[in-house]
Amino acid sequence: MFVKTLDDLLGEGVSGRRVLVRADLNVPFDKSNPGVISDDGRARAVLPTLVALRDAGARVIVMSHLGRPKGAPDPKYTLEPVATRLGELLGSPVVFASDTVGEDAQAKAAALADGQVLLLENLRFNAGETAKDDAERGAFAGQLAAFADVYVDDAFGAVHRKHASVYDVPARLPHYAGGLVLKEVEVLKKVTESPEQPYVVVLGGSKVSDKLAVIQALLPKVDKLLVGGGMCFTFLKAQGHEVGKSLLEDEMVATCADLLEQAQGRIVLPVDVVAATEFSADADSVTVPASEIPADRLGLDIGPESVALFAEAIGSARTVFWNGPMGVFELAPFAAGTRGVAEAITKIDGFSVVGGGDSAAAVRTLGLDESAFGHISTGGGASLEYLEGKTLPGIDALEK
């Protein structure tokens, strides 16, 4: 387990000390309104840590990535709107540095007063953050570590990344696990090691290749694995169905066929599909059996019979883990599958975990009651890799 936690740090006293906090402020933005955050769940999730440090008089320096810029500044991925939002949530302004470790960051870090919060510009504007080369990552981590006396990791969504701010900074500073990281690990540990049976996992999202390892790890443990979203079409193809213009990973069809055989009926696929003429909210769409998707259409959601089938399996579960939307929920005509499955999960007599940026955002975007779920994780990839049983670099670094 973690060597030290945020509570230990608060117990030591942080007044006047410089605390470098790695947060995951990789929030989604409204596609039609640039600069407008569409779901601030990740910012809210790290608030308790920031508030506790601020109120204890720490000089708080927050760092995060946003999107996947290529190691150089790119205005599309600036964290500036996030600094504004964070200030609103904290009820006190957040100072924003227009670079990560440059002159502006150094000046603003040096000028911080007790109880003030500074957000550095996007970590991934620096090639050292994601570098494969240990020395290059280490050099950047050294610049970050120079800002502070201690380091707190509360970026659960990024603990699966071997990046400078996640893996190399804690090797250079006294390090503590934040409350969000602690809570996430506690829940995922329980679901991984001792899930109450029956255990049902619902997987969606676009690619089978992203989920292959987790499917293999989970198959021996689950009673049912329900597959929706874009990835279901590769499975349907493996069952011998034509999928029209739907998303398909041809090179994964044989693997899916193997998984279906291994699973002996425990992988459940949609029986009907909402098939549209194109990827658009205005496209003509019809619900068809999953075995009869027309050649000129693409599946954009699971159909109502599939929702009923999935809801029945979910309803009998004592533990449900859900990652990935069932369809293109951002477009109203294709949101019913995700909504139906999410609602079924809220009704179980047991413990549910929603894993992932997209599924968590779906819960809030669709106006579902967040408190009806057992736990909503801020990490997509991170929670899946935890379930796979992998060593996560960020957690590993905190344990050393």
Could you give the residue numbers annotated as active site? 42, 207, 357, 381
Q: Which is nearer to Mg ion, 128 or 380 (by Cβ)? A: 380
Specify burial of residue 146 (Cβ count, 10 A radius: 0-12, 13-18, 19+): middle
Q: At what angle do helices 41-55 and 80-90 cross, to 10 degrees?
A: 60
Q: The tokens of 91 are what?
A: 């009820």
Which one of Mg ion, ligand 3PG, none interacts with residue 68, CB within 5 to 8 A by kind?
A: ligand 3PG
Count interface residues toward Mg ion (CB under 5 A): 2
123 binds, among ligand 3PG, Mg ion, none (CB under 5 to 8 A by kind): none
Cβ proximity to ligand 3PG: between 205 and 270 the closer is 205
Q: Which is nearer to Mg ion, 273 or 328 (CB)?
A: 328
Candidates 350, 381, 393, 394: give the one binding Mg ion (CB under 5 A): 381
Buried b (16+ CB within 10 A) or exposed e, 240-266: ebebbbbbbbeebbebbbebbeebeeb
**What is the contact surface with ligand 3PG in residues (CB under 6 A)?**
24, 26, 68, 157-158, 161, 357, 380-381
Considering beta carbons, is residue 195 or 381 the nearer one to Mg ion?
A: 381
Residue nearest ligand 3PG, Cβ-based: 26
Residue 135: enclosing H or E segment and its boundaries? helix 134-145
CA–CA dist 328, 341 (Å, integer):
14
CB of 208 to ligand 3PG, least distance (A): 18
**Taking CB within 5 to 8 Å according to partner kind, which of Mg ion, ligand 3PG, none is near residue 394?**
none
Give yes or no for a contact between 393 and 160, defined as CB atoms under 8 angstroms apart: yes
* Omega before residue 289 within 30° of 0, cis: no
Candidate segments 58-66, 174-182, 190-198, 375-383, binder of Mg ion by CB under 5 A: 375-383
Of residues 108 and 161, the one with the C-beta less far from ligand 3PG: 161
Q: CB–CB of 234/248 below 8 Å?
A: yes
Q: What is the dihedral of CA 306, 311, 312, 316, to 10 degrees?
A: 150
First-to-last C-alpha distance (Å) of the chain? 9
If the CB atoms of residues 156 and 235 are measured against ligand 3PG, the closer one turns out to be: 156
> Which of 138, 380, 393, 394 is the binder for Mg ion (CB under 5 A)?
380
Rounded to whole angstroms, the Cα distance separating 50 from 155 reads 12
Measured on CA atoms in the order 193, 197, 202, 208, is the torsion positive or negative?
positive
Least distance between ligand 3PG and beta carbon 215 (Å): 19
Q: Between residues 126 and 246, which has the closer beta carbon with respect to ligand 3PG? A: 126
Candidate segments 8-16, 282-290, 314-322, 373-381, binder of Mg ion by CB under 5 A: 373-381
Least distance between Mg ion and beta carbon 187 (Å): 19
Q: Is the dihedral of CA 108, 109, 113, 115 positive or negative?
A: positive
**Helix, strand or coil for residue 231?**
coil
Instruction: Using CA atoms of 41, 47, 48, 54 in order, give the dihedral in degrees to the nearest 10.
Output: 180
- Residues of this chain that interact with Mg ion (CB under 5 A) are 380-381
